Structure 1
Amino acid sequence: MSRSSIIGPPAQRSERPARWLAAATLIGIGVSAVIPGAPASAAGEATGRSGPAPVVTRAGLDPALVAGRGASVAFLEQEAEHARTNGTVIGPDRTAYTLPAEASGRSAVRLTPGQHVEFTLPKAANAITVRYSIPDAPDGGGITAPLHVTVNGKARQTMTLTSEYAWLYNQYPFSNDPDADLLHPDWWITECSCVPAATTPFPTIAKPFRPMHFYDEQRLRLDRTYRAGDKIRLTAPAGSNAAWTVIDLLDSELVAPPKVRLLAANVLAFGADPTGRRDSADAIDRAIAFAKRARLTVYIPPGTYQVNRHIIVDDVTIEGAGNWYTVIKGREVALDPPAPDGSVHTGVGFYGRDAADGGSRNVHLSGFAIEGDVRERIDTDQVNGIGGAMSDSTIDGLHIRHTKVGVWFDGPMRNVKVTNNIIVDQIADALNFHTGVTDSVVRNNFIRNTGDDALAMWSDKVADARNTFDRNTIQTPTLANGIAIYGGTDNTVSNNLVADPIREGSGIQLGSRFGAEPFAGTTRITNNTVVRAGTYELNWNIGLGAIWIYALERDIDADIQVTGDHYLDSTYNAIMLVSEWSVKDLYSIDGVKFSDIRVDGTGTSVVSARVSGGASFANVDARNVGAVGVNNCGSFHFPPTGSEFRLTDLGGNDGGGTTGPWLAPWLLPNTITCDDRPPVVPPPPPSTW
């Protein structure tokens, strides 16, 4: 969705700007330094008799800290900073526009040509995924570079890395050109604390301006199955044209044999080319038409199939041999003239019919990969992996990469289940329920490296209702939120794991914005874990919360229940309730109920309130809190009667940090404690409660 500067000029112009500018270098707060040049093996991992024991993590944490939260996946994650290397550990750091800030766990390993990082397999594996970054071309557009993969010093395979799908610059919707001038000189920017177009002389802005979206990932099937304890070494070879190669992590997996379906409409029988040399779109269309007449499943066997447009699906089942084997891959194609919907490109994607035409029903897609070719964000383009409207349908076991949005549904539509998918390296969202999607479930999906909200419900004109986002893992959205709910009725966000949002967003956001319908019924935010969130909002020049409730366009006064969440190692705040400065006297947030919450580490406060209204708190336990437990600014009128935001203590709110109990009696019900730019105190790493 569009992210123009609706946030407006920041409230802080009259709120101690000099103090915050002095603290601006602390955007990377909550971290400790690593000696430059130190090998990762010096970073404290356990060591066995034959070298370092493998350190397996989930979202960069000990898996015990996130048990029961997030997706159950077939692979094991190993962070490069815990492996053995002769390269250099970078980070940990949370400063926007830096390579460690966008890495999982906020650290990675930098290799120069000739250097390596070596992982020890924790279990048998025959396939790996490498998350990496290499430099952009000097003028943008990316480069390619080799990466050698050896196992136990033998069986070398070579991956060809690329930065063609990375490296965005500038203001929304971003540019591939590192030398581009400001895209919106009429927007407020923190770099000059001004609106550049309104200044004389026009300020000089350093280029490249706001580089971001550095990482990409690739999968590789190994030459055979290797045992636990075998060593996988990734080497940036001598002579590589990449001045450096950053390795973030390695996922290892034992991939099952391909699935075979004999009684099916096999696309090869209709002329599809599994080598990818010829376009197979028409052949797949013919297989679909035959399968519908014969009441058969469409089967796409192992291979790479070139598809450069949408495949329209309705009342059909399409099944691949598994997403490691069946790949539907396409180029982005320019449209001249543009399509009626405003698209100036098309590309590979499986689309239901438009909701205005009745939508599609009974669509079942499973067991294949979709590989797009999207390198820039154009919001009018329909270049998503899955799109249109599909009721009574399932999307299961896909791997979607390099599309604009992995799954974007334009309703009204109902009863879709999106399960067990991997969605990575998107220019925008991973999934968006847009306009009247109801009675639907998104469960057990793994999402990494999106360029906007990873999972979103956007009640644009028609409310999304009775939907559930459950047991998904979300890592490193480079912009915006892990999970965002924009209005809607009776929706649930439960048992998810969200880690490392980078900038201008939170782990979880509930917002009245983007023209969304109001919140109604009961919104349940239940048993989620949010890690290393509470990011920096560069438009406001303040820190956000791991969960962020935002009244921008209307009041938020529905029944919102936040229960059982864990907020770990928040860069700034754990909980934020806020309205934008220009509408602070128009809209309020009232009646939100927080209960059974654990807060383990904040750079600043447990609660930051910059709005009128109120919330209640029961059994909210906190420790390692960096500043006063509650930053209560209300709506900034500072009346003698106290803040316009009320905190109701329902009991059991324990713990705190450097300033004592987080919900001290003197704070209640509405003591003004307004200082939302206090010194940041980096918390220790999260630990077992």
Structure 2
Amino acid sequence: MNRTHRAVRPRTRARRRAVAAVTALATALGVLAGAPAGAATRGADPDGHSDARPVVTRAALDPALVAGRGARVAFEEQEAENAATNGEVIGPDRTAYTLPSEASGRRAVRLTPGRYVEFTLPAAANAITVRYSIPDAPGGGGITAPLDVSANGKRIRTMTLTSQYAWLYNQYPFTNDPDADLLHPDWWITECSCVPAQTTPYPSIQKPFRPSHFYDEQRLLLGRTYRAGDRIRLTAPSRTNAAWTVIDLLDSELVGPPRIRSRAANVLAFGADPTGRRDSAPAIERAIVAARRTGLPVYLPPGTYQVNRHIIVDDVTIEGAGNWYTIVRGREVALPEPAPDGSVHTGVGFYGRDAADGGSRNVHLSGFAIEGDVRERVDTDQVNGIGGAMSDSTIDGLHLRHTKVGMWFDGPMRNVRITNNIIVDQIADALNFHTGVTDSLVAHNFVRNTGDDGLAMWSETTANARNTFARNTVQSPVLANGIAVYGGADNTVSGNLIADPVREGSGIQVGSRFGAEPFTGHLRISDNTVARAGTYELNWNIGLGAIWFYALDRSIDARVDVVGDAYLDSTYNAIMLVSEWAVKDLYSISNVHFRDIRVDGTGTSVVSARTAGAASFRNVDARNVGAVGVNNCGSFHFTPEGSEFRLTDLGGNDGGWLADWQLPNTITCDDRPPVVPPPPPSRW
């Protein structure tokens, strides 16, 4: 079975053709190397105590703007730039390869040794999560550095931060070496506008080349409960070896007591080591055998369990004491020779049986954390937190980090419910339905800092069908999209909150690419909010839409309804429909219908069309539009009859963005209009 988890991005000449573009790499390196000192303390009295009321956000937005959308979570999110600090606020900046661009809300606080940022708790809490960045080691591989945690002026803990799981460089699929030459010298390099021939030396690139994936996060139990109004201070101590520490945000949470299961196959009774010193995989497997024989669940009590390979699960329930208390942690292990599926490493993960072997069913996983050790991207590796095929199964309340993909399912499989999980700090996707996943639900999951698509349905070889991604939050995917649907039938994307994609993707993508099966039936996209999306596409040197449709492998002509979405503060366009230049006369995008949409802020246009086809618009309201409402290039033939892309006005489209037109297919093609940053979004 083919388990290449991310198809290599197309390498056609057209794909690699890039017009002259100069990224802000020098700016990025300037930010990474240091920033001006002397930022004023904000919201603090002369003793450095906060006197400001806490500012709680969701994806760095006023919660009123996203009510009813996104995941239901147990924590309160506070952005560092809104807290009291004597450090320096960096950003806003949406330019790839900079620290602010990957920060939530595109701003963060930079601390030099001795500086702090202090948060006022908005509610009682006994646990925190800190999202941060510290420098890489000079030769790559990361460093560790301390961060002092104080409560109401008294130091209570010291966290050990690490950059060992951050800092990738160069071209896809990236490297940990900041001094590496080009990984693909035959690819277009937009920074120098060239494609070197085999006989031509490498183009001159500034190293480190394209640094990214700067952030990581850590959780900490505080040891007691603090009240609303108490102050949590994070200080980069004077003894730190990190030249700077960037704090992006703090999540605070009131964690309940551990869950106890007395009637269960307790893994301790089968020899598991809760200290994490010994390998517990054999003991967990013995507990699974006993649980299946007796009909009991497997129970993982509080502790850290070392597991360095896959645990195969079928017809079993495995419960932890809660993902703050039960941690399954493992190393990435090099295999003595490649596995049949191409893997060269293994690592911690719970896997259903291969679909080719019938898959697994009746698997129920809940209440524990999975922490991997993946520091590089090897697409053939099976080093995901959850994998295989699991039908008629549930996955609830897990916390996954530092794996390649949090959950990667290779179908065919059906009826899996994935709810209330937190998936962070992945090298690639958070979750991917790959090939023939049907009748399944992904809801109320929180995703942050993925190295590829946050949530994806990829219909490679067999269509995914009748699946729903509902009420999830996806923040700061470093590469690709927040949510992506590649082919399939009758799927739904509804009620999600997506914010701050960085490059080569955007908020929501409907894509005919990566060899996916065609779209058929009815794709429904409804009631989603996408914020600060519409990224810069490096290869094309254009801005994308907050939602974008891409016809690369074939036309997109199934019915697509986009209803009730809100696109807030889009860097470029709110809506884009585009085909690859090499196939622009072969493929088109049609039968797309937008209704009851709100667009609050675009850097360029409401709609950008760069393909043949058609779309209709009803009750699409727009304000704070940076350039022309519609940038209609069609397929670039500019015929006397007008653009090859036809927009149909069905009425109620307020804001003048569409009504100013005299013809629905008027050519208004400004290939790269100037960007006018919009004001922050506000209540409609």
Per the normalisation by structure 1, the TM-score is 0.95
C-alpha distance in structure 2 between counterparts of 1:134 and 1:281, whole Å? 33
Residue in 2 aligned with 1:31?
A: none
Q: CA deviation at 1:416?
A: 0.1
Question: Of 675, 679, 682, which residue of structure 2 is paired with 1:680?
Answer: 675
Q: CA deviation at 1:640?
A: 1.3
Identity %: 80
Q: CA deviation at 1:154?
A: 1.3
Q: CA deviation at 1:526?
A: 0.2
C-alpha distance in structure 2 between counterparts of 1:130 and 1:520, whole Å? 43
Q: Does residue 1:460 correspond to 2:460, yes or no?
A: yes
C-alpha distance in structure 2 between counterparts of 1:198 and 1:548, whole Å? 35
C-alpha distance in structure 2 between counterparts of 1:525 and 1:153, whole Å? 48
Change (3 A) 1:610 1:217: same
Is there any run of 5+ residues in structure 2 with no aligned partner, and where? 1-5, 29-34
Superposed, 1:351-362 pairs within 5 Å as 351-362=351-362
- 1:343 and 1:382 in contact (8 A); partners too: yes
Change (3 A) 1:667 1:635: farther
Residue in 2 aligned with 1:630?
A: 630
The letter of the residue matching 2:679 is: P
The letter of the residue matching 1:186 is: D
C-alpha distance in structure 2 between counterparts of 1:159 and 1:26, whole Å? 32
- 1:41 and 1:52 in contact (8 A); partners too: no
Change (3 A) 1:674 1:576: same
C-alpha distance in structure 2 between counterparts of 1:6 and 1:203, whole Å? 19
Residue in 2 aligned with 1:583?
A: 583
Q: CA deviation at 1:669?
A: 1.4
Residue in 2 aligned with 1:189?
A: 189
Residue in 2 aligned with 1:670?
A: 665
Residue in 2 aligned with 1:410?
A: 410
Residue in 1 aligned with 2:211?
A: 211
Q: CA deviation at 1:25?
A: 9.9
Q: CA deviation at 1:328?
A: 0.1
The letter of the residue matching 1:671 is: T
How much is the aligned-residue C-alpha RMSD, in angstroms? Answer: 2.0
C-alpha distance in structure 2 between counterparts of 1:24 and 1:115, whole Å? 28
C-alpha distance in structure 2 between counterparts of 1:464 and 1:50, whole Å? 51
C-alpha distance in structure 1 between counterparts of 2:280 and 2:16, whole Å? 54
Q: Secondary structure at the match of 1:291?
A: helix
Residue in 1 aligned with 2:525?
A: 525
Q: CA deviation at 1:339?
A: 1.1
The letter of the residue matching 1:137 is: A
- Give CA-to-partner distance per residue, 1:76-108, whole Å, 9 cap, x none: 000000011111100011111000000000000
- Give CA-to-partner distance per residue, 1:419-478, whole Å, 9 cap, x none: 000000000000000000000000000000000000000001100000000000000000
Q: CA deviation at 1:201?
A: 5.4
- Give CA-to-partner distance per residue, 1:223-247, whole Å, 9 cap, x none: 2000011110001111211100000
Change (3 A) 1:25 1:349: closer
- 1:43 and 1:81 in contact (8 A); partners too: no
C-alpha distance in structure 1 between counterparts of 2:400 and 2:162, whole Å? 17
Residue in 2 aligned with 1:99?
A: 99
C-alpha distance in structure 1 between counterparts of 2:356 and 2:326, whole Å? 32
Q: CA deviation at 1:2?
A: 2.8
C-alpha distance in structure 1 between counterparts of 2:257 and 2:243, whole Å? 38
The letter of the residue matching 2:273 is: D
Change (3 A) 1:26 1:272: closer
Of 196-205 and 105-114, more deviation after overlay is shown by 196-205
Residue in 2 aligned with 1:2?
A: 7
- Give CA-to-partner distance per residue, 1:272-315, whole Å, 9 cap, x none: 00000000000000000000000000000000000000000000
Residue in 2 aligned with 1:68?
A: 68
C-alpha distance in structure 1 between counterparts of 2:142 and 2:17, whole Å? 38
Q: CA deviation at 1:622?
A: 0.2
Residue in 1 aligned with 2:31?
A: none
Q: CA deviation at 1:196?
A: 2.7
Is there any run of 5+ residues in structure 1 with no aligned partner, and where? 29-34, 656-660
Residue in 1 aligned with 2:514?
A: 514
Change (3 A) 1:122 1:153: same
Change (3 A) 1:667 1:72: farther
Residue in 1 aligned with 2:348?
A: 348
- 2:50 and 2:231 in contact (8 A); partners too: no
Q: CA deviation at 1:3?
A: 3.8
- 2:17 and 2:539 in contact (8 A); partners too: no
- 1:147 and 1:159 in contact (8 A); partners too: yes
C-alpha distance in structure 2 between counterparts of 1:50 and 1:105, whole Å? 22
The letter of the residue matching 1:684 is: P
C-alpha distance in structure 2 between counterparts of 1:330 and 1:667, whole Å? 63
C-alpha distance in structure 1 between counterparts of 2:599 and 2:143, whole Å? 42
Q: CA deviation at 1:44?
A: 12
Q: CA deviation at 1:664?
A: 3.3
Change (3 A) 1:37 1:49: closer
Residue in 1 aligned with 2:483?
A: 483
Residue in 1 aligned with 2:445?
A: 445
Residue in 1 aligned with 2:133?
A: 133
- 2:14 and 2:580 in contact (8 A); partners too: no
Q: Secondary structure at the match of 2:601?
A: strand
Change (3 A) 1:9 1:353: same
Per the normalisation by structure 2, the TM-score is 0.96
Residue in 2 aligned with 1:247?
A: 247
Residue in 1 aligned with 2:55?
A: 55
Superposed, 1:381-420 pairs within 5 Å as 381-420=381-420
Residue in 2 aligned with 1:380?
A: 380
The letter of the residue matching 2:469 is: F
C-alpha distance in structure 2 between counterparts of 1:194 and 1:471, whole Å? 43
C-alpha distance in structure 1 between counterparts of 2:213 and 2:429, whole Å? 13
Change (3 A) 1:309 1:211: same
The letter of the residue matching 2:7 is: S
Residue in 1 aligned with 2:330?
A: 330
The letter of the residue matching 2:363 is: V
Residue in 2 aligned with 1:600?
A: 600
C-alpha distance in structure 1 between counterparts of 2:562 and 2:184, whole Å? 37
